[in-house]
């Protein structure tokens, strides 16, 4: 089963540009734009969340930090 999160109201990922990635990194959450893995022009906006290398107990806090990045 895949959980989905409702879209956040406000600027799109394209409009936020690198600012969102910088805010996330400042809180200790590293993200990569989905376009990093495109072989050609970006097919769609998105973020890659990789959480396999951190303890499971830290994932919820990381997601809370990430959510606050969308609020600013």
Total number of domains in the chain: 1
In 3D space, the residue among 39, 71, 36, 38 whose CA is nearest the CA of residue 50 turns out to be 36
Residue 3 lies in a domain: no
According to the model, what pLDDT value does residue 1 have? 44
Could you report the per-residue pLDDT of 3-52, keeping only the tens digit for each?
Answer: 544 544 555 555 566 788 888 889 998 888 888 888 887 777 778 888 88
More confident residue, 64 or 42: 64
Q: If you average pLDDT over residues 43-69, what whole number do you get?
A: 86
Residue 60 is assigned to a structural domain of this protein: yes
Q: Which domain holds residue 40?
A: 14-71
pLDDT at 65 exceeding the cut of 90: yes
Calculate the dihedral angle through the C-alpha atoms of 39, 41, 47, 48, rounding to the nearest 10 degrees: 0
> Which of the four pLDDT bands, split at 50, 70 and 90, describes residue 61?
very high
**Angle, CA of 51, 65 and 30, to the nearest 5°:** 45
9: in domain: no
């Amino acid at each position: 089963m895949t959980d989905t999160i409702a879209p956040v109201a406000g600027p799109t990922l394209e409009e936020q540009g690198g600012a969102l990635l910088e805010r996330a990194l400042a809180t200790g959450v590293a993200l990569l734009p989905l376009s990093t893995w495109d072989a050609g022009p970006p097919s769609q906006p998105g973020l890659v969340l990789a959480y396999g290398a951190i303890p499971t107990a830290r994932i919820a806090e990381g997601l809370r930090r990430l959510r606050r990045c969308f609020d600013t």
